[in-house]
Chain A
Amino acid sequence: MLEFLQFTLSGISFGAVYAAVALSLVLIWRGTRILNFAQGAMAMFTTYIALEVIRGTGSYWAGFAVALAAGLVFGALAEVTVIRPVEGKPPLNAVIVTIGLLVLVEGLAGIIYGGQYRSFPAAFTVTGLRAGRSPLGISWFDVFTVLAVLAAAAALAAGFRYTTAGLRLRATAFDARIARLLGVRVGRVLTLGWALAGLLGALAGLLISPSTFLYPNSMDSIFVFGFTAAVIGGLDSPAGAVAGGLILGVLLSYAGGYLGSELTPLAGLVILALVLTFRPDGLFAGVRLRRV
Chain B
Amino acid sequence: MSRHLGAAALVAILVALLSIRLTQFRDFQMAQVAVYVTAVAGLTVLTGLSGQISLGNGAFMAIGGYGTALLLLHLAWPLAAVLAASAAIAALAGALVGAATARLHGPYLAGATLLLAVALPSLTYKYPGVFGGEQGLNVTVSAPGSVPLTRWQAWITCGCALLTLVLLANLSASRIGRNWRAVRDDEVAAALAGVNVAWARILAFVVSAACAGLAGSLLAVTTGLVAPTDFTVTLSVALLTGAVIGGLGSLAGAVWGSLLVVLVPTYATDVATSHGLSSAVGSNIPVAAYGVVLIVVMLVFPNGIQGGLRRLAARVVPSPRRDEPVPAEMNNTAVRNASREASHEEIPKTPARRRARGRIGGGGRRLRLLEHERQQQLGRADGLGAGDHQQRDPDR
Q: Could you tell me if B115 and A111 are in contact, using CB atoms closer than 8 angstroms?
A: no
In the complex, what's the smallest C-beta–C-beta distance from A176 to chain B, in angstroms?
A: 9
**Contact assessment for A292 and B188 in the assembled complex, using a CB-CB cutoff below 8 Å:** yes
**CB < 8 Å neighbour of A107 from B101, B278, B288, B302:** B288
Cβ-defined contact, B115 with A268, below 8 A: yes
Residues of B within 8 A of A264 (CB): 122
> Which residues of the other chain, A, contact B294 by a CB distance below 8 angstroms?
96-97, 99-100, 103-104
Shortest Cβ distance from A106 into B: residue: B287
Q: Which of B55, B116, B361 contacts A91 (CB 8 A)?
A: B361
Cross-chain contact of B53 among A92, A265, A289 (Cβ < 8 A): A92
Q: Identify the closest chain B residue to A115 (Cβ).
A: B280
Residues on B with beta carbons closer than 8 Å to the beta carbon of A91 = 105-107, 361
Nearest B residue (CB) for A35: B107
Whole-angstrom distance from the CB of A241 to the nearest CB of chain B?
14
Q: With A and B bound together, what is the CA distance between A85 and B280 in angstroms?
A: 33
Which chain A positions have C-beta within 8 A of B286? 107
Give the residues from 235 to 292 in chain A that come closer than 8 angstroms, CB to CB, to chain B: 235, 260, 262-266, 268-269, 272-273, 276-277, 280, 289-292
Contact B299 A92 (CB under 8 A): no
Taking CB atoms, residues of chain A closer than 8 Å to B293 are 100
Q: Which residues of A contact B292 (CB under 8 A)?
A: 100, 104
Q: State the Cβ distance, A71 to closest chain B Cβ, in Å.
A: 19
Shortest Cβ distance from residue B119 to the other chain A in the assembled complex, whole angstroms: 4
Interface majority SS (helix, strand, loop, mixed), chain B: helix
The reply to whether B118 and A100 form a contact with Cβ atoms under 8 Å apart is no
Number of interface residues of B (CB under 8 A): 64
Which residues of the other chain, B, contact A104 by a CB distance below 8 angstroms? 288, 290-292, 294-295
Cβ contacts A97-124/B at 8 Å (1 or 0 each): 1011111111110110011000000000
A29 to B123: give the CA distance in the assembly, Å.
32
| Bound CA–CA A272/B108 (angstroms) | 10
- Docked Cα-Cα span, A280 to B110, in Å, equals 14
Check if B360 sits within 8 Å of A227, measured CB to CB: no
Main secondary structure of the interface of A (DSSP, over half): helix
B310 beta carbon closer than 8 Å to chain A: no
Question: Which residues of the partner chain A approach B370 to less than 8 Å between Cβ atoms?
Answer: none
Specify the chain A residue showing the minimal Cβ separation from B390. Answer: A289
Quick one: which of A96, A106, A227, A260 contacts B126, CB cutoff 8 A? Answer: A260
Smallest CB-CB separation from B104: which chain A residue? A276
- One of A94, A216, A231, A266 near B123 (C-beta < 8 A): A266
Residues of the B chain whose Cβ atoms lie less than 8 Å from the Cβ of A273: 100, 112
A139 within 8 Å of B by Cβ? no
A292-B111 contact, Cβ under 8 Å, with A92-B360, A100-B292, A101-B295: no
B91 within 8 A of A: no
Known interface pairs A114-B280, A228-B115; A100-B291 also in contact (CB < 8 Å): yes
- Is residue A184 contacting chain B, with contact meaning CB distance below 8 A? no
Q: How far, in Å, is A175 (CB) from chain B's closest CB?
A: 8
Q: Does A90 contact B (CB under 8 A)?
A: yes
**Contact assessment for B126 and A99 in the assembled complex, using a CB-CB cutoff below 8 Å:** no
Question: B43 CB to closest chain A CB, in angstroms?
Answer: 12
A82 near B295 with CB under 8 A, answer: yes
Q: Which residue of A lies closest to B359 (CB)?
A: A90
* B291 adjacent to A110 (CB under 8 Å): no
- A93's partner among B125, B289, B298, B395 (CB-CB below 8 A) is B298
List B contacts of A133 (CB < 8 A).
none
With an 8 A cutoff between CB atoms, is B362 at the interface? yes
Identify the interface centre among B291, B293, B392: most chain A CB within 10 Å of its CB: B291
**A33-B396, A92-B360 in contact; A97/B281 too (CB < 8 A)?**
no
Q: Which of B40-77 contact A (CB under 8 A)?
A: 47, 51, 53, 55
- A92 near B47 with CB under 8 A, answer yes
A290 near B111 with CB under 8 A, answer no
User: B residues engaging A (CB < 8 A)?
Assistant: 47, 51, 53, 55, 100-101, 103-108, 110-112, 114-116, 118-120, 122-123, 125-126, 188, 233-234, 237, 240-241, 244, 278, 280-281, 283-295, 298-299, 302, 359-363, 365-366, 390-392, 394-396
Other contacts beyond A107-B286, A221-B118, A276-B108: 9, CB < 8 A: A33-B396, A86-B298, A91-B105, A96-B244, A103-B234, A103-B291, A231-B108, A266-B120, A291-B394
A-B contact pairs, 20 of them (CB 8 A): A35-B107, A37-B111, A86-B299, A90-B359, A90-B363, A91-B105, A91-B106, A92-B361, A96-B240, A97-B299, A99-B55, A99-B240, A100-B292, A103-B291, A224-B114, A266-B126, A269-B119, A276-B101, A289-B390, A290-B392
The 10 closest A-B pairs by CB, nearest first: A104-B291, A107-B288, A100-B294, A110-B284, A91-B106, A90-B361, A35-B107, A107-B287, A92-B361, A103-B291
Interface residues of A (CB under 8 A from B): 29, 33-35, 37, 82, 85-86, 89-97, 99-108, 110-111, 114-115, 216-217, 220-221, 224, 227-228, 231, 235, 260, 262-266, 268-269, 272-273, 276-277, 280, 289-292
